[in-house]
Amino acid sequence: MSVGWSKHKEKWEDRIDRAGELGERCPWARQVLSFYTKVIEFQMGNGPAESKEQPGPPSVNGSLLAAIDFELAAGDVPRLAAMVRQWGPPKLAAEAVHWLESSSDAIRTMIEKWPSERQSYESGADFFARVVLEPQAERLAHALVSTPTRAAGNKCPSCECDPQLAVIRPEGDGGKRMLLCSLCHTEWEFRRILCPNCGEEDHEKLPRYAAEGGTVVRVEACETCRCYLKSVDLTVDGRAVPLVDEVATAPLDLWAVEHGYRKIMPNIMGF
């Protein structure tokens, strides 16, 4: 397997602009993209330009999770909860009240446990943990000055988290498949015909589905483990911003779940 690794990083403003563009084009996604924009704006305030003290770059020989300042991340939760209580969907708004009423120790425990227990986290806690951890993790991944030495399998070579989606990036006359990390947004090269969850290699057991008339975002499924992730094809639309386009195509997730597939890792909005 190739161990290619990449630092493709869209600017925070690019994500906001793309969310606005897709919200205008896709009425069914307008509400979720409006809230997602507020999430991006919150994260942007905790990004590289933030003046507060930040942890230094991690060693390339270990997971960047060891370099994350969990206390710093936990301290951002009350402000995030206040925003979500005002602007979030009802279920998340109710979860926000819970965290607004929680002790700092309880919040920190929730944040610290996320990396090891993320697959078992209920969607509300998962949202709050990821929103406050992603800016640090992305900054740390971007600060790596050389390719991580750990082989790139089906886990992120930077932080060892699961992939959230696949990105097809132009290469020559075709495209290469990258996986995009669900936490630090590192991309790493991954074979086109290979399930990122169970390693199935039979192309007949790895179907791809797209909405009628849609070619940019597809469901990449596996009949062996019944898992899926979505792919964003930049050879079809170079203006696509993978994280945003993936959120904007929630109907594909609903279709996949209705047909018995389970997503390898839900996106930050919980689907």
Higher pLDDT, 104 or 64: 104
First vs last C-alpha separation in the chain: 29
Whole-angstrom Cα distance, residue 111 to residue 250? 26
Which residues touch 52 (CB under 8 Å, ≥6 apart)?
Answer: 72
pLDDT at residue 47, as a whole number? 54
- Helix 104-117 to helix 77-87 angle, to the nearest 10 degrees? 90
Q: Give the model confidence (pLDDT) of 165-204 as tens digits.
A: 999 999 988 899 999 999 999 999 999 999 999 999 999 9
In this structure, what token pair is assigned to residue 46?
A: 């905790």
Q: Give the model confidence (pLDDT) of 13-65 as tens digits.
A: 999 999 999 999 988 899 999 999 999 999 998 754 443 444 445 444 557 88
According to DSSP, the residues that pair with 176 across neighbouring strands are 169
The whole-number average pLDDT for the span 108-120 is 85
pLDDT at residue 10, as a whole number? 64
Whole-angstrom Cα distance, residue 36 to residue 30? 10
Nearest to 252 by CA among 213, 208, 210: 210
Cβ neighbour number for residue 122 with a 10 Å cutoff = 9
Per-residue confidence band for 132, with pLDDT thresholds at 50, 70 and 90: very high
Please provide the DSSP assignment of the chain as one string.
----EE-----HHHHHHHHHHHHHH-GGGHHHHHHHHHHHHHHHTTSTT--S--PPPPPTTS-GGGG--HHHHHHTHHHHHHHHHHHS-HHHHHHHHHHHTS-HHHHHHHHHHHHHHGGGS-HHHHHHHHHHHHHHHHHHHHH--S--SS--SSS-TTT-PPEEEEEEEEETTEEEEEEEESSS--EEE--SSS-TTT----GGG--EE--TT--SEEEEE-TTT-EEEEEEETTT-TT--HHHHHHHTHHHHHHHHHTT-EESS--TT--
In this structure, what token pair is assigned to residue 93?
A: 């708004």
Domains delineated in the chain: 26-143 (no CATH), 149-263 (3.90.1670.10)
Q: Is the confidence at residue 8, as pLDDT, over 80? A: no
Residue 245 and residue 214 in contact, taking contact as beta carbons nearer than 8 Å: no
Q: Is the confidence at residue 118, as pLDDT, over 60? A: yes
Cβ neighbour number for residue 164 with a 10 Å cutoff = 24
Q: Give the model confidence (pLDDT) of 148-164 as tens digits.
A: 445 568 999 999 999 99
Q: Is the confidence at residue 12, as pLDDT, over 80? A: yes
- Mean predicted lDDT score pLDDT of the chain: 87
| CA distances from residue 11 to 170, 191, 243 in whole angstroms, order as listed | 19, 27, 12
Burial class (CB in 10 A: 0-12, 13-18, 19+), 116: exposed
The whole-number average pLDDT for the span 89-97 is 94
Higher pLDDT, 229 or 270: 229
In the chain, the percentage of residues whose pLDDT exceeds 70 is 86
